[in-house]
Amino acid sequence: MRILIANVNTTEAMTDAIAEAARAVASPGTEIIGLTPDFGAESCEGNFESYLAAIAVMDKVVRFEGEYDAVIQAGYGEHGREGLQELLTVPVVDITEAAASTAMFLGRSYSVVTTLDRTVPLIEDRLILGGLHDRCASVRSSGMSVLELESDPERAVEAIAAEAQKAVEIDRAEVIVLGCGGMAELKDRVVELCGVPVVDGVQAAVQVAESLVRLGLTTSKVRTYASPRPKRVTGFPATAR
Amino acid sequence: MRILIANVNTTEAMTDAIAEAARAVASPGTEIIGLTPDFGAESCEGNFESYLAAIAVMDKVVRFEGEYDAVIQAGYGEHGREGLQELLTVPVVDITEAAASTAMFLGRSYSVVTTLDRTVPLIEDRLILGGLHDRCASVRSSGMSVLELESDPERAVEAIAAEAQKAVEIDRAEVIVLGCGGMAELKDRVVELCGVPVVDGVQAAVQVAESLVRLGLTTSKVRTYASPRPKRVTGFPATAR
Amino acid sequence: MRILIANVNTTEAMTDAIAEAARAVASPGTEIIGLTPDFGAESCEGNFESYLAAIAVMDKVVRFEGEYDAVIQAGYGEHGREGLQELLTVPVVDITEAAASTAMFLGRSYSVVTTLDRTVPLIEDRLILGGLHDRCASVRSSGMSVLELESDPERAVEAIAAEAQKAVEIDRAEVIVLGCGGMAELKDRVVELCGVPVVDGVQAAVQVAESLVRLGLTTSKVRTYASPRPKRVTGFPATAR
Amino acid sequence: MRILIANVNTTEAMTDAIAEAARAVASPGTEIIGLTPDFGAESCEGNFESYLAAIAVMDKVVRFEGEYDAVIQAGYGEHGREGLQELLTVPVVDITEAAASTAMFLGRSYSVVTTLDRTVPLIEDRLILGGLHDRCASVRSSGMSVLELESDPERAVEAIAAEAQKAVEIDRAEVIVLGCGGMAELKDRVVELCGVPVVDGVQAAVQVAESLVRLGLTTSKVRTYASPRPKRVTGFPATAR
Amino acid sequence: MRILIANVNTTEAMTDAIAEAARAVASPGTEIIGLTPDFGAESCEGNFESYLAAIAVMDKVVRFEGEYDAVIQAGYGEHGREGLQELLTVPVVDITEAAASTAMFLGRSYSVVTTLDRTVPLIEDRLILGGLHDRCASVRSSGMSVLELESDPERAVEAIAAEAQKAVEIDRAEVIVLGCGGMAELKDRVVELCGVPVVDGVQAAVQVAESLVRLGLTTSKVRTYASPRPKRVTGFPATAR
Amino acid sequence: MRILIANVNTTEAMTDAIAEAARAVASPGTEIIGLTPDFGAESCEGNFESYLAAIAVMDKVVRFEGEYDAVIQAGYGEHGREGLQELLTVPVVDITEAAASTAMFLGRSYSVVTTLDRTVPLIEDRLILGGLHDRCASVRSSGMSVLELESDPERAVEAIAAEAQKAVEIDRAEVIVLGCGGMAELKDRVVELCGVPVVDGVQAAVQVAESLVRLGLTTSKVRTYASPRPKRVTGFPATAR
């Protein structure tokens, strides 16, 4: 099967890292294709950038030429999943939701640890609307931006691992969801510090997407995610303008 | 003061009707300026169209030249309000939220009556995230599209009024919020049939916007609605491409 | 238009301060009339005093001779609003609810900062029943009584501002509602310390009341707030005994 | 032990019926004393009347001369229990809460069946604030007033029993709480029609009150129900004026 | 009347202590019979042991020869109450639920203080399913096992009392439920330290059981707790194998 | 990998059907081993039978000789999953939870359609504790027992499909979870009637189990599902007595 995995920002290097992480857990026979939006922010850290990403991802996906069996939207707490579900019939999997859903099979409660404080509300909203918030112990942030993560990875690992530890000890989380990507050593450090399972959203989403495809399940078209009604729409795909 | 009121679809006639409704209740000295997005759907009835509207409205607002004191987003259950709040410092008022908030001062519970069934979930989600859902008795749809509303207004009035009546009698609503615009006779018919207060979102939003401006209150910039961080963003404003 | 604003305690000086605060934000042409109950406690800090205030306020309002367009009940977390709604047809606005409702347009969550710890539960209950609690980050108290507020205003300002700061930093509030009246410097100090919008209940309530009157909206009489059925009632108005 | 049971309305005959029902299940050695408020409505069917009853009941109880071990407030969905708890140290039991609490030991969910539609919201609010609403399947009304109950008891029994049956069959209630007093045949008819346990609030409250007294438990005075602070209060007890 | 009180573990000494505590508050004429399961764990501290206890208690109760009027299951946060309700018609009272239900008559919120951290989730789940969690301020653990409680009672008392104090001061509990048995001095120490009512589950359950029996109320058999349908069952009673 | 799938009842034919359904969707290289409890009920339709099944399944699993990578408990709304999680380190997947979790990726809300009315509460409880209930539109029953399902399959299919249709049309479900096994034609009929995705719990659970194993994720042992503490336990494994 073929799965499209869409980055929500315009940084190609991140798309590559995401696709690589996806491939690492994909089944033999599953092809992973990374997509980078043609416009938007170099990193998504707020509602404006996330709304722009929503359209940019839809834009990129609908213009994709070729067959595919599922789409993964690879951003934490981002807008847009519902729009993709309307435009497509194949399953659409949001990594925030896949991670939470997976974590709930492993412990009674989970916490998400993310980068900037300002992205916490977006992740919470996504979990609330996704019906996955009841067993969320907390969404914590390390206070570091994506950029700082790259410029000082060691400090970033410690900052995030420290928040994970607080989540386990203070918020009583039993599983940690890493709400940011790209650091192999991060996962190891959190496991070492906290002694709890750590879920990576991209990898969880690949499993969910493959599972839905294997079961022949597709998005319900009966109401919320019905195809858009025929009407005059301009400016979409945006890049076609 | 000057208030921008942004239609979420590209139909100029609707923008005019909305602005007119707003002016009908604006205080002397308040200037209402209607904005029509430069791209998007001719009517918003689902997530894809709503996400597109979110960006189109932000696009139109940020390119507006001149001063203004508040912005109203005039769509029921639409995405985007949080993005505008990040981009601006003046208050941003969503009509779905303004209507619900107003209705709650008038009765113990309210129902929203809207057009198509598929827009019900969007309205519910907006109310849930807005923290205004606890006293929502129901969101009901007449099953008629915006277009049908225009082509057969008499039948539309009866269909919507009938749902309002069910909301009052079955769902125990004490106030009705009209989740669609443009029909003066609709409000009268619902009042006649149901004997309960009827709230129009646009008019409620004008009052809320004026109130916030008068009190000198602006959007909190401390976390969720902080201005976007400086970074490379492409494709926005979209119409500048 | 004419708005009655009823103090919940018997201290005339507070009524004056409340009416003055209301007038400061009322539109030209709006007359504000302050009412002091003829019986009850000199300050309301608990359920017994609040229940007594509920009756005392109704008593005072129904005996008011002359026309009026709306009534504001000026107490934080006090009982009685529903009773007034039954007795009257004009809108009745509770300042706790008006403040919360207003705060929700400005940030994702708000906290109320009040005086004594024992009034916290009353405010919480009012917000829960009002359907305005979902986005309430916390209700915090400074531990100072109304009397101490007056005798040592400087210390009071610092104590309340300190709680506001905790609300923003620990409870993640993005807006502060001041659950006590009468200190101009308090608002400034909180804004300075916390950098978030600060909402004053009396002023918010004036805006809500004016808005409802302008829109011609009145209390729903269909069920919860229907006029009392004709029956034998003694002891009310109490002051007529 | 001695238990005061306070009627919420001024109809002495109802006080007698309530006291008699209480005595029927009281333990040997428990003395039941019925109290009729000295002012208020002849029957309580709404917020205004209920707030008045709150003060009238407190007024009557605090003027009671003699010792007692507990107080029962005998009204469905009435205001005031929290005020009594502040004024007294002995346990205060509200019959709405006692009935719900008892019903929850007998089945997974319960419904309350009451008289007029307008009292439904008051009962719901009392259950919500009491933390007893999660397993409430519904609060249903027969549409008959207390007066009609007396003038046409046979029709009343059928109307209420019919609602109880709907509660069991439609709302999936497993226990019925009778939210109105005075009819022995009503309980039998509901049991016959529905085949579920039927809880009478007054009788449940007597058991709860006796239980608390036997265990030596009294109201917590640590915060919400602390005694009123010393201050100037006028007009209470009202009857002393 | 005769009440069976079933210990959930196999330690006879605990059964004796439980029965003694029950007898101390039982009414004259109430016979208390303690039951010790014939298999299971010597102390219940987790789901596996609790599920085993569920069956062991049912096993012991259904094999009891003789009449009885009610059954109490004496374990905090244990599984099984619903099964007993299906097998019996007499009332079944869980001490966790009886304690919470009783605490709610005494204060606005309560906390449970128990032994090991790992039993906290079981108690929370029981309260959630029992519909008694809304007013639960917290479930706190002292970190000491049942065994340590016995080997070093003085330290245990201090550890548990310290958690109770945190519950009152930090979590704002107004009543403490002791989620572990057997120490008379514990209750006194908590009252002394915290100044709030302290509820013992066994004693609360005796009162609830007696109350239900006096009112002639039995478990609803209409749906959830209907008797098991006739079918082939093996291995139960387990001890008969 | 090897997955144990445990039937909750003692009917071998059902175990075979479950294992066959599991194998139909298992990946190449996954071995499915069906387990039938050595004691318990021939079909599970209530709490008593379900508690017995909980122990019987644990009993069977812990006595299994050989390696395995995950365990699936194949019953709708059954007790016991938490106990297995304590006893094992490999992932444990409950089919009720796996089905709900999967359904939530396909539509905004889902309904479960099951056999007997009395099993509805068990399924609801499992979903509530599992944190998967927010988007559950309803749990509906056809009123037919497992036995009737087998003796009159055509009528059963129609009865269940009819409930599924009501779930979609009345309860607004967008996905149907089949809360009973063994009928291939049932799924087709529901799809035909309702036009929505239909999720089978066993098949969903196989996907979840395989996913967790592939990602190397195991149950969190930090608190709720920590291994039982060493202590004296008798009667388990039960079949060893």
Q: Which domains does chain F have, with CATH numbers?
A: 2-95+203-240 (3.40.50.12500), 97-201 (3.40.50.12500)
**What are F142-184's pLDDT values in tens digits?**
888 777 777 888 888 889 899 999 999 999 999 999 987 656 6
Given the DSSP bridges, would you call strands E70-74 and F233-234 parallel, antiparallel or unpaired? Answer: unpaired
How many angstroms away from the CA of D20 is the closest CA of chain C? 24
More confident site: F16 or E151: F16
C-chain residues near B224 (CB < 8 A): 107-108, 174
| CA distances in angstroms from D191 to A96, D168, D171, listed in the order given | 51, 11, 17
Nearest by CB to residue B117, choosing from A86, A128, A223, is: A223
Nearest by CB to residue D197, choosing from E194, E197, E218, is: E218
Neighbouring chains of F at 3+ CB pairs under 8 Å are: A, E
| CA distances in angstroms from B115 to A84, A176, B142, B169, listed in the order given | 23, 42, 5, 20
**What are F32-84's pLDDT values in tens digits?**
999 999 999 999 999 999 999 999 999 999 999 999 999 999 999 999 999 99
By C-alpha distance, the chain C residue nearest D230 is: C41
Those residues with Cβ within 8 angstroms of residue E20's Cβ, 6 or more apart along the chain or in another chain = none
Low-confidence ranges of chain B (pLDDT < 70): 181-184, 240-241
| DSSP bridge partners of E198 | E176
Chain C residues 71-100 within an 8 A CB cutoff of chain B: 91, 93, 97-98
The separation between CA F91 and the C-alpha centre of its own chain, rounded to angstroms, equals 14
| Best CA proximity match to C45, nearest among C11, C4, C19, C12 | C11
Give E48-109 as a DSSP string: HHHHHHHHHHHHHHHT--S--SEEEEE-TT-S-HHHHHHH-SS-EEEHHHHHHHHHTTTSS-
How many angstroms away from the CA of F241 is the closest CA of chain A? 32
Give the tokens for residue D166: 């709907």
Note whether F91 and F85 are within 8 A (CB). Answer: no
Task: Give, in degrees to the nearest 5, the angle at Cα E110 between E108 and E111.
Answer: 155
By C-alpha distance, the chain D residue nearest C128 is: D129
Those residues with Cβ within 8 angstroms of residue E183's Cβ, 6 or more apart along the chain or in another chain = E149, E153, E156, E157
D-chain residues near E135 (CB < 8 A): 130-131
* b/e per residue C56-76 (b: at least 16 CB within 10 A): bbbbbbeeeeeebbbbbbbbb
Q: Which residue has the tokens 């510090």?
A: A193
E-chain residues near D172 (CB < 8 A): 223
Chains D and A touch (3+ CB pairs under 8 A): no
Candidates A36, A85, A233, partner chain B, best to mutate (most B CBs within 10 A): A233
* b/e per residue F72-94 (b: at least 16 CB within 10 A): bbbbbbbbbbbbbbbbbebbbbb
A-chain residues near B80 (CB < 8 A): 51
pLDDT at E48: 98
User: Side chain identity at F184, as an amino acid letter?
Assistant: A
| DSSP bridge partners of A199 | A177
**What are A37-55's pLDDT values in tens digits?**
999 999 999 999 999 999 9
User: Side chain identity at B95, as an amino acid letter?
Assistant: I
Asked if A222 and F168 come within 8 Å (Cβ–Cβ), the reply is yes
Low-confidence ranges of chain A (pLDDT < 50): 241
Does position D240 have pLDDT exceeding 80, yes or no? no
Given the DSSP bridges, would you call strands D110-114 and B233-234 parallel, antiparallel or unpaired? Answer: unpaired
pLDDT at B184: 62
* C159 φ, ψ (degrees, to nearest 5): -65, -45
Asked if C131 and B135 come within 8 Å (Cβ–Cβ), the reply is yes
ipTM: 0.96
Asked if F125 and E129 come within 8 Å (Cβ–Cβ), the reply is yes
By C-alpha distance, the chain D residue nearest E217 is: D197
| DSSP bridge partners of E71 | E4, E92
CA pair distance D105, E101, nearest whole angstrom? 10
B-chain residues near A87 (CB < 8 A): 48
Given the DSSP bridges, would you call strands C136-141 and C31-35 parallel, antiparallel or unpaired? Answer: unpaired
Tally C-beta pairs within 8 A across B and C: 146
The separation between CA D32 and the C-alpha centre of its own chain, rounded to angstroms, equals 15
Asked if B47 and A82 come within 8 Å (Cβ–Cβ), the reply is yes
Chain D residues 213-232 within an 8 A CB cutoff of chain C: 223-226, 228-229, 231-232
A-chain residues near F130 (CB < 8 A): 104, 135
D238: confidence class by pLDDT, cuts 50, 70, 90: confident
Asked if E223 and D108 come within 8 Å (Cβ–Cβ), the reply is yes
pLDDT at C184: 62
Nearest by CB to residue D86, choosing from C47, C226, C238, is: C47
3-state secondary structure of E130: coil
Nearest by CB to residue F107, choosing from A98, A133, A225, is: A225
pLDDT at D145: 79
E-chain residues near D217 (CB < 8 A): 102, 105-106, 197, 199
Note whether F164 and F111 are within 8 A (CB). Answer: yes
3-state secondary structure of D52: helix
Asked if F27 and A27 come within 8 Å (Cβ–Cβ), the reply is yes
Candidates C134, C233, C239, partner chain D, best to mutate (most D CBs within 10 A): C233
Neighbouring chains of B at 3+ CB pairs under 8 Å are: A, C
pLDDT at A201: 95
B-chain residues near A128 (CB < 8 A): 128-129
Task: Give, in degrees to the nearest 5, the angle at Cα F125 between A212 and E80.
Answer: 130
Asked if D229 and C129 come within 8 Å (Cβ–Cβ), the reply is no
Nearest by CB to residue C231, choosing from D42, D117, D120, is: D42
Asked if B107 and C222 come within 8 Å (Cβ–Cβ), the reply is yes
How many angstroms away from the CA of A241 is the closest CA of chain F? 32
CA pair distance B34, B17, nearest whole angstrom? 9
Tally C-beta pairs within 8 A across E and F: 142
By C-alpha distance, the chain E residue nearest D175 is: E220
Give burial (CB, 10 Å; 0-12/13-18/19+) of B99: buried
* E130 φ, ψ (degrees, to nearest 5): -80, -5
Nearest by CB to residue C215, choosing from B108, B132, B203, is: B203
Asked if F233 and E55 come within 8 Å (Cβ–Cβ), the reply is no
Residues D46-59 have a mean pLDDT of 98
Candidates C8, C44, C45, C52, partner chain D, best to mutate (most D CBs within 10 A): C52
3-state secondary structure of E228: coil
CA pair distance B186, A67, nearest whole angstrom? 47
The helix or strand, by DSSP H or E, that contains position F32, with its residue range, turns out to be strand F31-35
D185: confidence class by pLDDT, cuts 50, 70, 90: confident
Candidates B36, B120, B229, partner chain A, best to mutate (most A CBs within 10 A): B229
Asked if F208 and A211 come within 8 Å (Cβ–Cβ), the reply is yes
| CA distances in angstroms from F218 to A227, C146, C164, listed in the order given | 39, 56, 43
Low-confidence ranges of chain C (pLDDT < 50): 241
Does position E86 have pLDDT exceeding 80, yes or no? yes
Nearest by CB to residue B229, choosing from A45, A83, A231, is: A45
Chain E residues 134-193 within an 8 A CB cutoff of chain D: 134-135, 168, 172, 174-175
The helix or strand, by DSSP H or E, that contains position F4, with its residue range, turns out to be strand F2-7
pLDDT at E240: 59
| Best CA proximity match to F132, nearest among F122, F124, F140 | F124
Chains A and F touch (3+ CB pairs under 8 A): yes
pLDDT at D148: 78
Percent of chain E predicted with pLDDT > 90: 84
CA pair distance E74, E53, nearest whole angstrom? 11
Asked if C231 and D41 come within 8 Å (Cβ–Cβ), the reply is yes
